[in-house]
Amino acid sequence: MAGHPALIQGYIRTTTATATATGTVRSVRFHFRKTLGKTLKRFPLSLGSFVTVGSHQTLAFKPLLSPALPPRHLGVVRCCYGGRAETTLEFLDRRAVALPPLYLQQSSNYGRFAYQEPFTDEDSDREFGSPQHVMGSSTLDNLEDWKFKLTMLVRNKDEQEVVSREKKDRRDFEQLSALATRMGLNSRQYSRVVVFSKVPLPNYRPDLDDRRPQREVVLPFGLQREVDGHLNAYLSRKLVHKRSFISNSFSKSSSDGCEATDGGLYGPQETSLQNSPAMERILRQKSLQLRGRQQEWLESPEGQKMIEFRRSLPAFKERDKLLKAIAQNQVVVVSGETGCGKTTQLPQYVLESEIEAARGASCSIICTQPRRISAISVSERVAAERGENLGESVGYKVRLEGMKGRNTRLLFCTTGVLLRRLLVDRSLKGVTHVIVDEIHERGMNEDFLLIVLRDLLPCRPDLRLILMSATLNSELFSSYFGNAPTLHIPGFTYPVRELFLEDILERTGYRLTLYNQIDDYGQEKSWKMQKQAQAFRKRKSQIATAVEDALEAAHFMGYGPRTQDSLSHWNPNSIGFNLIEHVLCHIVKNERPGAVLVFMTGWDDINSIKDQLHSHPILGDPSRVLLLACHGSMASSEQRLIFDKPEDGVRKIVLATNMAETSITINDVVFVVDCGKAKETSYDALNNTPCLLPSWVSKAAARQRRGRAGRVQPGECYRLYPRCVYDAFANYQSPELLRTPLQSLCLQIKSLQLGSISEFLSRALQPPEPLSVQNAVEYLKVIGALDEKEELTVLGRHLAVLPVEPKLGKMLIFGAVFSCLDPIMTVVAGLSVRDPFLTPFDKKDLAESAKAQFSARDYSDHLALIRAYDGWKDAEGKQSGYEYCWKNFLSAQTMKAIDSLRKQFSHLLKETGLVNQKTENCNAWSHDDHLIRAVICAGLFPGICSVVNKEKSIALKTMDDGQVLLYSVSSSIFWYFGISEGIALIILFHWRTCLLEVCAFHFYFPTMVLDRIL
């Protein structure tokens, strides 16, 4: 057949091959079809080669022009061959196909011809029998088609996303996703749906789920009716007291904006001072008495010594400048380095100035601190410097604890206490100065308070606001308050030598391996942290990514080969318990006397490393080492121990969280061990999931940690990470308002009657994402705290005065209403602390058997916790609490924390009027497990998960997330799945976290099965 064209009858369609690097050649693939074409076109082409691929043939041409061929073109082709000259390709209807003889040219280049008729994979496979060949061809056409669609999406301002349910788009999603990324778009595949969007996409979209699994996640009607019936029955039997609970406490604001006070929470409010001559004489007399008392102290020998000490602080040199700025401006921003004395001295300067001016009786100064321990310790120090007992002119107020009197003029309190005072005194009547300390930490309460105070200042021109920061970012706060004046107090610290990880390894000879960096938490929490770490690595923050990039680019040429080898094995995701132990042992044996401050990430790390150090022959010897812990959840009496000096020859080691950076000062600290991390809550607004993970601190926080070592003498700071990692840290920490759920904050906004939640938060120093606000508002509506108009319901007004998470507060209220308060307080306290059930790796079966005894085959972690606590409480009364915990694999420290929280909850409920002073009537039905489970169900809603039994597996689905995964500390819940076939189950859970980038959310302790709940 040489020289003669081969005539083949049929109809073809065109697809494309992969484009070459040069892009100068196009290839045309002919596949026989039974469909007719419609369009006529002529294009001059230069003949290429005719190639056989499988059972299909490809004819390649070199175009003389670059025509814009129409997409989705289908037709019949006639190819005329006339030697090696130009040829014409015609698209005709119902014509024969003339193909030239085979002239194989292996060197021919192939390019793109990205136009095709859409067809399904099923059609292609059935007709041509070479799915691989067809798929490779159609992918390129599909990419070209989507390139046009995505370009139109980018140009169209009114369109936000494009959705496709085509199988070929799911097949080509990886390539399409890369294309969308290059065009600045977001993409995600939801089961059988592909979405390309201008905005980020969540892990799950209920509107794109054909099965609509959220419709299955409802309480069965019969179960719902039983729950309601039992609750109504118990409620009707409950004794109804004549007095209303707290309706008077939530009366509407009067015309002047002041609300009634409950008295018990803040103490009696002073009445408004009348501008009468008699009142002025009384105030004048009191002010003169205060001035005389102050002068007497300053002239005493003790007072002279104290004055000499206070004058040595850097803040004293700026005293006159500070007082002048405060007198002339309503807002002043003060920044001061570690050791300058701003926290203790500046409030005293203001108080002394007012007393000297005979205004002491009418002044009222409030200084807020972010933590309880700092409010207490600073007030004690200031009172001592004034030669007074705490509670006279200087006092403090923290939650459930305080010391103040009628003559108190300077009150140290937590930020939350001031916010709760604003609930009953929105204008802060009688307050002359508000000092907000540690604003650089950017806590949620602090940012919220700044919005409220900025709105209050125009209504209170006599009120003075002083903002104090430990870092040099005062310009941000100054601009927020209309370019308020800023002052800086230079600090004084002794030189502190920094030793980074490479220096520590070189100095001590310690060697890092893959095995000695495993942090042993001694319980199931290790599994949980490993899972969270996997998610953390998948969804790295910018800092984490920068850290890894810095490590890859780092060079440690100035160090020995042993050190370089150790650094190559360093695991940045590990805290490094063994390394900490080695460093502490080195300090105790080789360094000069002085206390050691170790910065850990949280309570779990502190307890775990403390247990490990106790077993060390040197660090666990009480005659050589005094080992102490410092954490916000500890009792105030235990926290005060860290300030005491140890006996001679004993080295004090304090294990603390980041609260020791600025909130407290331990004067005898000489050595600091810094792990470089802190527990930080991150919030994914898109998927509405919080996650608490150790994160790298900022450079500002790292400098604060270093400064703790140079207060009394030259010190040393041991950084347990390389210098290149420190260089990759962010300058400042991200505000908490941007990385935490906002439900509690929204309740505070509505309780203060500050208007629209979204509008109010838009006035923040750095406003949160609108989606975060929307998620919080929707959640509060679901639980019944807000109505459809975003106004507080009766339940919402109750929740606003309880300083706990809304769902836990709701559970407490229900426990009080249905007279089963005692067990519910145990559940709420247990949900607020770490898991008390320990699961050692080497005794996992024994630990699970011990927990199964408390579960009593009802498959509830909540009820197991109640029984475990009740047993521990009985054992404590017999002085055998530790033995009970040891036998039953319980954490004694966690049980004590639960007991402490229960007391706080009881006190709060009494103060707010939800329960009587006598709690007998509140526990009339505490023995009824059915009622307890119903109250827990009502409190944790919408935290419910349905169990869908399949033939060989079980599917778990929630209201918002579709299909999920369940991880529970208790294995009994999985045993129950094995015997519950055919029963519609509902599982209650407390919180969730997103561990995977796909649609899979994981639920942790505790859980409870609700099948035949009653």
Tell me: pLDDT of 974 over 90. no
Residue that is last in its domain, among 117, 152, 187: 117
Whether 251 is in a domain gets the answer no
CATH code at position 451: 3.40.50.300
What are the structure tokens assigned to 220, written together?
Answer: 């069965």
Ramachandran category for residue 83: left, alpha or beta (phi over 0 → left; psi -120 to 50 → alpha): left
Whether residues 526 and 652 fall in one domain: yes
Q: Closest Cα partner for 662 from 247, 337, 297, 175?
A: 337
Residue range 100-119: mean pLDDT, rounded? 33
As for how many domains the chain has, the answer is 7
Position 675 confidence tier, pLDDT thresholds 50, 70, 90: very high
Any domain includes 810: no
Domain that holds residue 165: 138-213
**Per the domain annotation, does 327 fall within a domain?**
no
- Judgement on whether residues 721 and 746 belong to the same structural domain of the protein: no
Least confident of 184-188, 462-466, 477-481, 945-949: 945-949
Please indicate, yes or no, if residue 809 is contained in any of the structural domains.
no
DSSP bridge pairs for 681:
692
| Tokens linked to 751 | 């309780």
pLDDT at 609 over 80: yes
Alpha-carbon span 932 to 926, nearest angstrom? 7
Beta bridge partners of 678: 695
In a domain, 671, yes or no: yes
Query: How far apart are the C-alpha atoms of 873 and 922, rounded to whole Å?
Result: 19
CA dihedral 171, 172, 177, 179 (to 10 degrees): -170
Q: How sure is the predictor about 401, in pLDDT bands with cuts at 50, 70 and 90?
A: confident
The model's pTM is 0.67
Q: Is the domain of 975 the same as that of 897?
A: no
Domain boundary among 419, 454, 489: 489
Within a domain: residue 375? yes
Tokens of 623: 């005659």
CA angle 405, 409, 414 (to 5 degrees): 85
Does residue 127 fall inside a structural domain? no
What confidence score (pLDDT) does residue 887 get? 92
User: Are residues 955 and 901 both part of a single domain?
Assistant: no
| Tens of pLDDT, residues 820-872 | 999 999 999 988 877 888 877 678 788 888 888 887 667 788 888 999 999 99
- Examine residue 231 and state whether it is found in any structural domain, yes or no: no
Question: CA 194, 196, 201: angle at the middle one, nearest 5?
Answer: 90
Which tens digits make up the pLDDT trace of 151-169?
989 888 888 899 998 888 8
Enter the tokens of residue 843. Answer: 């005794």
Quick one: tokens of 532?
Answer: 């969270």
876 and 950 in a single domain? The answer is: no
Tens of pLDDT, residue by residue over 257-308, are 333 333 333 344 444 444 567 778 888 889 899 999 999 999 999 999 999 9
Reading the block at residue 310, the tokens are 């206070």
Q: Are residues 548 and 655 in the same domain?
A: yes
Q: Which of 213, 234, 249 lies at the terminal end of a domain, its last residue? A: 213
Asked if 749 and 627 sit in the same domain, the reply is no
Q: Are residues 778 and 728 in the same domain?
A: no
Residues 506 and 529 in one domain: yes
Same domain, 575 and 685: yes
On whether both 792 and 918 belong to a single domain, the answer is no
Query: Each residue of 11-22: pLDDT tens digit?
Result: 333 333 333 333
- Residue 784 sits in the same domain as residue 829: no
